[in-house]
Amino acid sequence: QNQSQELAKEALQTNISLYNTVIMLSLKWLLQ
């Protein structure tokens, strides 16, 4: 169970990173 919690944390962090990247790119595009 501990291992699956670690995997879930990693997946969440990856999703947040992707989400942040998309937001930053969208903002850059909108502000041009």
pTM: 0.63
Q: Domain spans of the chain? A: 1-32
CA distance 31 to 6: 37
3-state SS class at 1: coil
Instruction: Using the predicted structure, report yes or no on whether residue 26 has a pLDDT greater than 90.
Output: yes
The model's pLDDT over 2-19, given as tens digits with 9 standing for 90+, comes to 899 999 999 999 999 999
Instruction: Using the predicted structure, report yes or no on whether residue 29 has a pLDDT greater than 80.
Output: yes
Q: What is the pLDDT of residue 8?
A: 94
In the chain, alpha helices (H):
2-31
What dihedral angle (degrees, nearest 10) is formed by the CA atoms of 8, 13, 15, 19? Answer: 160
